[in-house]
């Protein structure tokens, strides 16, 4: 059992290393989301159906969030410490559009 687990982890990590950045972000987001969803589903006490539902919902949510993460984008932080994704252009805050 341990060898199969090590094999699956190694296969997943090598697959992520060979994938493009967009696909890698989606896969990592789906994996993390499934893990968090599984923990939440098991904590709800609904048994195996709740665990499977939590994992499925978490994987979809994590995959969507992972698809939104991009490497070469610009972010703007406002006065409320909120980050917004903005286009990377030559415009600065003082320029008129």
pTM for this structure? 0.58
pLDDT in tens, 38-50: 999 889 888 888 9
**Three-state SS string across the chain, please?**
CHHHHHHHHHHHHHHHHHCCHHHHHHHHHHHHHHHHHHHHHHHCCCCHHHHHHHHHHHHHHHHHHHHHCCCCCEEEECCCCCEEEECCCCCCCCCCC
* Per-residue pLDDT at 6: 82
pLDDT in tens, 20-39: 777 888 888 888 999 999 99
* Per-residue pLDDT at 95: 55
Domain residue ranges in the chain: 21-86
């Amino acid at each position: 059992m341990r060898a199969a687990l090590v094999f699956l982890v190694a296969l997943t990590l090598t697959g992520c290393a060979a994938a493009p950045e967009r696909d890698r972000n989606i896969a990592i987001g789906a994996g993390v989301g499934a893990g968090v969803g599984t923990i939440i589903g098991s904590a709800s006490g609904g048994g195996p159906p709740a665990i499977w539902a939590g994992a499925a919902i978490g994987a979809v949510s994590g995959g969507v969030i992972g698809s939104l993460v991009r490497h070469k984008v610009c972010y703007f932080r406002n006065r409320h410490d909120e980050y917004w994704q903005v286009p990377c252009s030559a415009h600065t805050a003082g320029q008129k559009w």
